[in-house]
Amino acid sequence: MKALKVIGIILGVVFLFIIVSALTINIKGIPTYEVEKIDYEPSMDIDQIAHGRKMAMMLCANCHMNTETGKFTGKLMSDAPPEFGTIYASNITQDQEVGIGAYSPGELVYLLRTGIKRTGEYAPPYMAKLPNMADEDIDAIISFLKSDDPAVSPDATPDKPCDPSFLTKVLCNTAFKPYAMPEALISRPNPADPVELGRYLVHNLDCYTCHSADFKTINFEEPTQTPGYLGGGNAPLNLEGEVMLTSNITPHKKTGIGNWTEAQFVKALKTGQVEGEPALRYPMMPYTLLSDEEASAIYRYLMTVPPLDNKVERSGIN
Kindly report, residue by residue over 209-239, the tens digit of the pLDDT. 999 999 889 898 899 999 999 999 998 888 8
pLDDT confidence of residue 310: 96
CA separation for the pair 83, 73 (Å, rounded): 24
Least confident piece of the model among 83-92, 142-151, 256-265: 83-92
- What pLDDT score does 240 carry? 82
- pLDDT tens digits, residue range 89-127? 999 999 999 999 999 999 999 999 999 999 999 987 667
Q: Provide the pLDDT for residue 64.
A: 93
Q: Please, which pLDDT band fits residue 11 given cuts at 50, 70 and 90?
A: low
* pLDDT for 27 beyond 80: no
Chain centre distance of CA 206: 5
pLDDT of the residue at 7:
60
Domains of the chain are: 46-173 (1.10.760), 194-302 (1.10.760)
Instruction: Find the mean pLDDT for residues 200-205.
Output: 96
Q: What is the pLDDT of residue 5?
A: 58
What is the average per-residue pLDDT within 196-220? Answer: 93
Q: Tell me, what's the pLDDT at 238? A: 84
3-state secondary structure the chain: CHHHHHHHHHHHHHHHHHHHHHHHHHHHCCCECCCCCCCCCCCCCHHHHHHHHHHHHHHCHHHHCECCCCECCCCECCCCCHHHEECECCCCCCCCCCCCCCCCHHHHHHHHHHCECCCCEECCCCCCCCCCCCHHHHHHHHHHHCCCCCCCCCCCCCCCCCEECHHHHHHHHCCCCCCCCCCCCCCCCCCCCHHHHHHHHHHHCCHHHHHCCCHHHCCCCCHHHCCCCCCCCCCCECCCCCECCCCCCCCCCCCCCCCCCHHHHHHHHHHCEECCEECCCCCCCCCCCCCHHHHHHHHHHHCCCCCCCCCCCCCCCC
Dist. CA 272–CA 193, nearest whole Å:
26
